[in-house]
Amino acid sequence: MIRLDWRRAATVMVACVGLWGGTASAQPANDRRDPWEGFNRSVFLFNGVIDHFLIKPVAEVYETVVPELARRGVGNVLGNLGDVWSIVNLGLQGKPDKMAEMTVRVGMNTVLGIGGLFDIATEAGLDRKSEDFGQTLAVWGVPSGPYLVLPLLGPSTLRDASGTVVDRVAQAPLSPADEAQRWSLLGLQLTDARASALPFTRMLDQVALDKYTFVKDAYLTRRRSLVFDGTPPPEDDERDEAAPAAQGASK
């Protein structure tokens, strides 16, 4: 089950922008964070083709046909399901205060928000603190490793890709038991995520730049900010690749 809060406005945008492939033929820039750039650009191009002919058109139809209020409700429900896994990760990271806040948030939205359809908790001042296992690995001191573009899934790192596997397995119990319903839910999650990214990708379509490099920089910057709870150390700090467990526990 894909957790598609995905930091709704930022990380979703970055991941889906990665599905554009117009710059895959550019020469590698010898970025030390990206030793597999040749391979990554090829996957980036592949993802762009899939997005152009399949994922983006479906998302545009979804945006046109489904009213905004309904789409917001779908996003709220999916986000509430993802919040359950965030609670687990906050516990694994040794952040009891944030874990308690997120537990109250899920309970409030589930009960008062009719299964998460309405985001009552945010209106009450309980903002979403999304966490995944990639962030947990970072708090445990695991380095990020090389930048990696995954087929269909988009930008990642070796650490985040490993965390994604755990995320999928751990959230499987939240999926419907019926196989057809599971695939339907997955399709809805992907469509909702891509539709959320449409305004950003339309804007970037008007900008002349190396989209591959832009997506890489945006993704790595965003993930680093998430690992350090919005207060990352300076760029040249040795802690760039991993957040010590002690720091994670203190937040």
Looking at per-residue confidence, does 91 or 171 come out higher? 91
Quick one: pLDDT band at residue 117, thresholds 50, 70, 90? very high
What amino acid is encoded at 109 in this protein? N
Q: What is the mean pLDDT of the chain?
A: 83
Q: Please check the confidence at residue 6 and state whether its pLDDT lies above 50.
A: no
| Cα(26)–Cα(224) distance, integer angstroms | 26
Whole-number percent of the chain with pLDDT over 70: 81
How many residues are there in the chain? 251
Q: Are 85 and 167 in contact (CB under 8 A)?
A: yes
Residue with tokens 């990380």: 11
| Cα(66)–Cα(188) distance, integer angstroms | 12
Q: Mean pLDDT throughout 169-181?
A: 80
| CA-based radius of gyration for the chain | 18
Q: Give residue 236's pLDDT.
A: 57
Q: Give residue 41's pLDDT.
A: 96
pLDDT for 39-52, tens place per residue?
Answer: 999 999 999 999 99
Q: Please check the confidence at residue 24 and state whether its pLDDT lies above 60.
A: no
Q: Mean pLDDT throughout 92-102?
A: 96
Burial of 109 (0-12, 13-18, 19+ CB in 10 A): buried
Looking at per-residue confidence, does 164 or 1 come out higher? 164
Q: Mean pLDDT throughout 133-143?
A: 96
Q: Please check the confidence at residue 118 and state whether its pLDDT lies above 80.
A: yes
Q: Are 185 and 175 in contact (CB under 8 A)?
A: yes
Q: Please check the confidence at residue 168 and state whether its pLDDT lies above 80.
A: yes
Looking at per-residue confidence, does 246 or 105 come out higher? 105
What DSSP character marks residue 52? I
Looking at per-residue confidence, does 6 or 158 come out higher? 158
Nearest to 191 by CA among 63, 43, 5, 9: 63
- Indicate the SS3 state at residue 156: strand
| Cα(47)–Cα(32) distance, integer angstroms | 23
Q: Mean pLDDT throughout 202-224?
A: 85
Q: Please check the confidence at residue 109 and state whether its pLDDT lies above 60.
A: yes
Q: Are 31 and 154 in contact (CB under 8 A)?
A: no
Quick one: pLDDT band at residue 202, thresholds 50, 70, 90? confident
Q: Give residue 21's pLDDT.
A: 41
Q: Give residue 235's pLDDT.
A: 66
Q: How far is CA 9 from its chain centroid?
A: 9
Task: For residue 179, give every residue at least 6 positions away whose Cβ sits within 8 Å of its Cβ, in sequence order, or none.
Answer: none
